[in-house]
């Protein structure tokens, strides 16, 4: 579980901006962060990475506390299992692709690991090239490989595709999905592009004026869904509440929401964003189907 409850003020006086957000998110998913410019999306990534310190609150990844102002805990960025990819790539121009990856590893990189990352990003034949000899898409793939070189628990992608043309952008979406499936980090992906978020993400956090206004699947937030049988089939969990032996869940499928009561004991680890398979016999209908 990625859990945070944090407050941070940026600037002073009339230009002051406060980020005040709280969430519990499943691990191993691609989670989009969506909202207008200045909403606090990049600021949240900087706080999670340790590039900024919280004013109040905590950040916890799995069972490890990365920051807690009450307990005076603060892990610096280099001690957090985090990979960060900026929009401008930030590759060292005086290092080859292989040297950029080795530097990010902060130790003698395992040759097998290096080859695996280069192969996954299709850069084996470019490993001895400097960034100036790479295309924009190749630089982005090299930066993505570098962000993954330490096998991070948390991969932070801050609008990494925004400056690319549509052809390269579409290609890199495929690389992100392939690398995520292979290495299974929890990925937070900032983007203004609704279609991109719907293509890549399991969940989306919508932020406005420094606050989270909703968390849901792309199906719910953007209305981009596939046709799924509501009586028997695959569903995405939007919200869930445990009450005694019941689990009240709100699911989405085929542009419809449906609320159900499940046996809590049968689904002990179910979380928002999970996809579950149900048959008609497995649920009790609590409310009629509601159109978006």
Q: Where are the domains of the chain?
A: 2-219, 225-291
More confident residue, 146 or 165: 146
CATH class of 2-219: alpha beta
Is residue 9 predicted with pLDDT exceeding 60?
yes
pLDDT at 121: 87
d(C-alpha 16, C-alpha 14), whole Å: 6
More confident residue, 4 or 168: 4
142-146, 157-161, 186-190, 233-237: least confident range: 233-237
* Mean confidence (pLDDT) of the chain: 82
Q: Which fold has domain 225-291?
A: OB fold (Dihydrolipoamide Acetyltransferase, E2P) (2.40.50)
26-30, 88-92, 200-204: least confident range: 88-92
More confident residue, 67 or 107: 67
pTM over 0.75: no
d(C-alpha 73, C-alpha 78), whole Å: 15
d(C-alpha 14, C-alpha 34), whole Å: 25
Under the banding of pLDDT at 50, 70 and 90, the label for residue 50 is very high
More confident residue, 216 or 71: 71
Under the banding of pLDDT at 50, 70 and 90, the label for residue 59 is very high
3-class state of residue 105 by DSSP? helix
* β-pairing verdict for 17-25 and 2-10: antiparallel
Task: Tell whether the torsion through CA atoms of 138, 144, 147 and 152 is positive or negative.
Answer: negative
Q: In what order do the strands lie in the sheet with 154-158?
A: 82-85, 154-158, 186-190, 30-34, 203-208, 211-216
pLDDT tens per residue, range 235-273: 777 777 776 666 677 777 655 566 666 666 667 777 777
d(C-alpha 85, C-alpha 147), whole Å: 6
Mean pLDDT (whole number) for 223-241? 55
190: tokens are 């900032």
Mean pLDDT (whole number) for 199-215? 90
d(C-alpha 87, C-alpha 175), whole Å: 16
pLDDT at 254: 55
d(C-alpha 133, C-alpha 146), whole Å: 17
pLDDT at 12: 85
3-class state of residue 153 by DSSP? coil
d(C-alpha 68, C-alpha 59), whole Å: 7
- Residues contacting 189, CB < 8 A, separation 6+: 30, 31, 32, 33, 157, 160, 176, 197, 200, 201
105-114, 143-152, 282-291: least confident range: 282-291
Under the banding of pLDDT at 50, 70 and 90, the label for residue 171 is confident
pLDDT at 265: 67
51: tokens are 């590039």
pLDDT at 29: 92
pLDDT at 188: 96
122-131, 168-177, 222-231: least confident range: 222-231
Under the banding of pLDDT at 50, 70 and 90, the label for residue 132 is very high
d(C-alpha 232, C-alpha 288), whole Å: 16
Is residue 26 predicted with pLDDT exceeding 60?
yes
Percent of the chain with pLDDT over 70: 83
Q: Are 53 and 223 in contact (CB under 8 A)?
A: no
Task: Tell whether the torsion through CA atoms of 23, 52, 46 and 59 is positive or negative.
Answer: negative
Among candidate residues 234, 223, 224, 245, the one with its CA nearest the CA of residue 275: 234
Is residue 232 predicted with pLDDT exceeding 90?
no
More confident residue, 221 or 18: 18
Under the banding of pLDDT at 50, 70 and 90, the label for residue 280 is very low
């Amino acid at each position: 579980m990625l859990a945070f409850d944090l407050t941070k003020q940026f600037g002073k006086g009339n230009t002051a901006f406060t980020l005040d957000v709280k969430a519990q998110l499943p691990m191993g998913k691609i989670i989009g962060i969506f909202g207008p410019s200045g909403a606090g999306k990049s600021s949240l990534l900087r706080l999670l990475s340790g590039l900024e310190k919280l004013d109040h609150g905590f950040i916890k990844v799995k069972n490890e506390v990365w920051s807690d102002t009450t307990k005076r805990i603060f892990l610096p960025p280099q001690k957090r299992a985090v990979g960060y990819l900026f929009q401008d790539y930030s590759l060292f121009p005086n290092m080859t692709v292989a040297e950029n990856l080795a530097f990010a590893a902060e130790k003698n990189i395992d040759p097998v690991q290096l080859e695996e990352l280069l192969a996954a990003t299709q850069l084996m034949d470019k490993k001895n090239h400097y960034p100036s000899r790479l295309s924009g898409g190749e630089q982005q793939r090299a930066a993505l490989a570098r962000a993954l070189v330490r096998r991070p628990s948390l991969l932070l992608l801050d609008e990494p595709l925004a400056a690319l043309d549509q052809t390269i952008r579409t290609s890199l979406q495929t690389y992100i999905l392939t690398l995520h499936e292979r290495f299974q980090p929890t990925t937070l992906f900032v983007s203004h592009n609704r279609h991109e978020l719907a293509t890549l993400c399991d969940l989306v956090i919508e932020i406005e004026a420094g606050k989270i206004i909703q968390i849901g699947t792309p199906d719910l937030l953007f209305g981009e869904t596939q046709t799924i049988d509501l009586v028997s089939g695959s569903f995405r969990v939007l919200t869930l509440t445990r009450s005694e032996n019941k689990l009240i869940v709100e699911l989405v499928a085929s542009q419809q929401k449906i609320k159900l009561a499940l046996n809590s004991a049968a689904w002990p680890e179910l979380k928002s964003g999970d996809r579950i398979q149900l048959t008609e016999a497995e649920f009790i209908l609590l409310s009629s189907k509601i159109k978006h």
